[in-house]
Amino acid sequence: MQLSNRSKKMVVKPMTLKERMYLPAIAAGLGITIKHFFRKKPTIRYPEVKREFSPVFRGLHVLKRDDLGRERCTACGLCAVACPAEAITMISAERKKGEEGLYREEKYAEVYEINMLRCIFCGLCEHACPKAAIYLQPDVMAPAFYSREEVIYGKDRLVENADKRANAGLDRVNGVRKLS
Amino acid sequence: MESVLIFKAIFILVVFGITLLTATYSTLAERKVAGFLQDRLGPDRAGPYGLLQPLADAVKMFFKEEFIPSSANKWLFIAGPSLAMLTALMTSAVVPFGDSIIWDGQEFKLQGMEINIGILYVFGIVSLGVYGIMVGGWASNNKFSLLGAIRAASQNISYELAMGLSIIAIMMMTGSLDLNAVVKGQAGFHGMAWNVFYQPLACIIFIVCAFAECNRTPFDLPECETELVGGYHTEYSSMKLGLYLFSEYTNMFVSSAVISILFFGGYNFPGQDLLPFSHNVITIIGAAVFFGKILFFIFFFMWVRWTLPRFRYDQLMGLGWKSLLPLAIVNVMITGAVILLTGK
């Protein structure tokens, strides 16, 4: 049955003398391989040379603070709901008197954990967050893990350092990142 | 006389060292060339540009478990790799690495052993070379090893015939079995009267046969991993495996040297009689050029390995017996006829 006009009829011809000599074909093959020999190699020598990340790269999470150094997260749980891998768990707590400098909202996350083995770095948590609290850094990768205990990131490792803010580059509009 | 003996002793040690060193670094070069031909970089972690990789490999080989299968013939199992290495190293004794150094009125030839049957000696050792593989494969008491060994044996015997016949044409031209005389015979035209221009067919046949004798791709059937696991060295581990692999590279070095001597002028280089230098300097330049030729052919071995796929076994035998052997005989007859007609 003829399905298309593109089918090609194969004819197996006996090999010509040139083909049976192998040598012309071998010479042509050697020419092709030597061209690859001198070609520029695409290899990136990893530990010395690091690959440039795209500006929309989604790396390791960070829990942001606001300009006054207060934690933005209000433990609403929308990130946990949005997470397709169910990697986020949290326990909320009420802000006490005198803690206004620590937490921006009246409710905050007492425990906030991300299981980095479950996380697929899809960025939906960042997308879901109404307080712009969770953020996937564009320049930091999740490291390799040597034990299962290391895998679960608590607040001690997620909340950004007050005096060393994570590379924000927050050119997001309504939570959506733009290519800068 | 005494100074000649001392010189020879030192020279043989130097040649031995150079052979081993070249073979060692061939293992790195192989992986580097493989990488570059496949758009990769090859090993570059151990030392600058991966130059310490052979050292790391050797350390790895030494620290592996020395395993001898319970059903193997213990003595032959150990003798196999030793034989392979021994025969691989013996050939370089007759290779003329350069002309001669004149020191204090005495002439020192840059050749381990000045014998007038160099070509015969090389052939004798090359045909002994298959014993290492044969003995190792048989002693392993393993079907795959035995198959690999049988393949190696039949392949080597088949290609030795064509190889020998291709050289007969060279011997007819030179009129000597002495490797040094063969090189000297190519000194004409300011060092460019290479045999490859007079005997292109013999050259091609010889190179093809050299590939087969070294068990290199596209004739690496004795150790093809796809069908025979590892061929004759399936059961080997540790440094015994290392010796087998090492002997392959030593063989490559020696075959490259022999190819350069027989067809590419050995230590002759273009314009050698025009340079205004003393005899000794010319000899040293010639030796360097000879090494350059050897290194090029080692590279060629690797280049071909990463270009051509493996022959099927019947194709291999067909090529050896039905193409190369008749072609070599025809070449001998044509050479004879030309010598008869031109009278030289």
Nearest CA in chain A to B205: A23
DSSP sequence for chain A: ----TT------PPPPHHHHT-HHHHHHHHHHHHHHHHSPP----TTTS-PPPPTT---SEEE-B-TTS-B------HHHHH-TT--EEEEEEEPPTT-TTTBSSSEEEEEEEEETTT-----HHHHH-TTS-EEE-SS-PPPP-SSHHHHEE-HHHHBPBTTB-------EETTEE---
Is A56 among the domain residues? no
The answer, yes or no, to whether residue A168 has pLDDT greater than 60, is no
Domain residues for the domain of A159 are 61-164+173-177
- Position A9 in a domain: no
Give me the CATH number covering residue A121: 3.30.70.3270
pLDDT in single tens digits along all 344 residues of chain B:
677 888 888 888 888 888 888 888 888 988 899 889 998 888 888 888 888 888 888 888 888 888 888 888 888 888 888 888 888 888 888 888 888 788 777 777 777 777 888 888 888 888 888 888 888 888 888 888 888 888 888 888 888 888 888 888 888 888 888 888 888 888 877 777 888 888 888 899 999 988 888 888 788 877 776 677 777 788 888 888 888 888 888 888 988 998 998 888 888 888 777 777 788 888 888 888 889 999 999 999 999 988 888 888 888 888 889 888 999 999 999 988 988 888 76
Q: Could B37 and A39 be called an inter-chain contact, meaning their C-beta atoms sit closer than 8 Å?
A: no
Residue A39 lies in a domain: no
Q: Mind telling me how many Å the CA of B265 is from chain A's nearest CA?
A: 23
Task: List the single residue in A with minimal CA-CA distance to B301.
Answer: A30
**Mutant choice from A17, A21, A22, A23 vs B, greatest count of B C-beta within 10 A:** A22
- Contact: A30, B306; criterion CB under 8 Å: no
Residues of A in contact with B204 (CB under 8 A): 23
pLDDT tens-digit series, residues A101-153: 888 888 999 999 999 999 999 989 988 988 888 888 887 888 888 988 889 99
How far is residue B340's CA from residue B344's CA, in Å, rounded to a whole number?
Answer: 7
Identify the burial level of A171 via C-beta atoms within 10 angstroms of its C-beta, where 0-12 means exposed, 13-18 middle and 19 or more buried.
Answer: exposed
Residue A41 lies in a domain: no
B36 in A contact zone (CB under 8 Å): yes
Is residue A18 in some structural domain?
A: no
Nearest CB neighbour to B303, from listed A33, A41, A42: A33
A16 min Cα distance to partner chain B (Å): 15
Other Cβ atoms closer than 10 A to A27: 10
Q: Which of A23, A30, A41 shows the shortest C-beta gap to B307?
A: A30
Report the alpha-carbon distance of residue B248 to residue A51 in Å, rounded: 39
Distance from CA of A56 to the nearest CA of B (A): 29
Token couple for B98? 């350069």
| Residues ≥6 apart with Cβ < 8 Å to B189 | none
* Chain A / chain B CB contacts < 8 angstroms: 34
- Using the Cβ of B204 and the Cβ atoms of chain A, whether some distance falls under 8 Å is answered with yes
From chain B, the residues in CB contact with A42 under 8 A are: 39
Residues of B in contact with A23 (CB under 8 A): 204
pTM, to two decimals: 0.80
Q: Which helix (H) or strand (E) holds B272?
A: none
Nearest CA in chain B to A40: B39
Of A26, A29, A43, the CB nearest to B41: A43
Q: Do B303 and A23 touch (CB under 8 A)?
A: no
Note whether residue A151 is domain-resident: yes
Beta carbons within 8 Å of A13's beta carbon, 6+ residues apart: none
Residues of chain A that touch chain B, judged by Cβ-Cβ distance less than 8 Å = 23, 26, 29-30, 32-34, 36-37, 39, 41-43, 45
| Of residues B39, B304, B308, nearest to A42 (C-beta) | B39
Give the model's pLDDT for residue A166: 57
> Is residue A13 pLDDT above 80, yes or no?
yes
Q: Judge if the upstream peptide bond of residue B69 is cis by omega within 30 degrees of 0.
A: no
Amino acid residing at A70: R
Taking only the tens place, the pLDDT of each residue in A151-167 is 999 988 888 876 666 55
Confirm or reject contact between B16 and chain A (CB < 8 A): no
Contact flag A26-B307 (C-beta cutoff 8 Å): yes
Q: Is residue A45 part of a domain?
A: no
Domain count, chain A: 1
